[in-house]
Amino acid sequence: MLSKFQIFKIGFFDVAPHLLSVIPFGIIFGAIGIELGFDPIMTYATSLIIFGGASQIVFLQLLSGGASSLIAITSVGVINSRHLLYGAVLSEYLNKLSLIKKLFISYFIVDQGFAVSNIYFKKNKEQNFNHYHLIGSGITLWLCWQISTILGIYLGSIVPEALGLKFAIPLTFIAIIINELRKLDHLIVMIVSGLAATFFYNAPFKSYILISPLIGLFAAYLILKFKK
């Protein structure tokens, strides 16, 4: 039997390769927050309170572009709805824990941590303290995200505006979904929602950010029907 700390360490080492992308992403986010005109404390607060990279960028971008709070908040909810899937998968491994522990661990569920811990859980069903793997990977990612955001906030305050750092926003999201480009159904859905967003971009309150994903999901629904 491995001890709690040993499993925690495995979680740390398993997630370590992902830090190569998490840390630069955090720096980019911090710099973008400043570039969009938010003050350092507010930009950092989103990392602490929301703690979801892509959704933080969208949130600040929408608010700076004049979107209503309701639209910005709803977008965060839509982007982060993928955690529901992670939770559904993880609940099987965490169901014996006390409520307090479950509430604590929940805060640390992010993409990369879920990916590595889920693999570990599948391979080690007999271990007693498996959830320490998720705590290990989660806290590692959390710490790196907090520190890199602060680093980015500092960089953002000295980087000249002429560099057009805002362009890093679409590039970051291209990087996030690049692997889905290989699947034809996802590619079609991407083009449909992207064109819809461009077309509805000037809709009131920046509501394009909710309208176009809905149109995209409808396309996905049609594709699923067609596949059957």
- Distance from C-alpha of 228 to C-alpha of 223, rounded to nearest angstrom: 9
Whether residue 110 contacts residue 138, with contact meaning beta carbons closer than 8 Å, is answered with: yes
Number of residues that bind another protein (CB under 8 A): 87
Examine residue 40 and tell whether it contacts another protein (CB under 8 A): no
Of the residues 69, 119, 128, 204, which one makes contact with another protein according to CB under 8 A = 69
Q: Does 222 bind another protein (CB under 8 A)?
A: no
Specify the residue, 9 or 102, whose C-beta has the smaller distance to another protein: 102
DSSP per-residue codes, 146-201: HHHHHHHHHHHHHS-GGG-GGGHHHHHHHHHHGGGGGSHHHHHHHHHHHHHHHHTT
Chain centroid to Cα 214, Å, comes to 19
Q: Applying CB under 8 A, does 24 fall inside the site for another protein?
A: yes
105 vs 135 by CB, closer to another protein: 105
Residues 102-131, interacting with another protein (CB under 8 A): 102-103, 105-107, 109
Residues 136-195 that bind another protein (CB under 8 A): 163-164, 167-182, 186, 189-191, 193-195
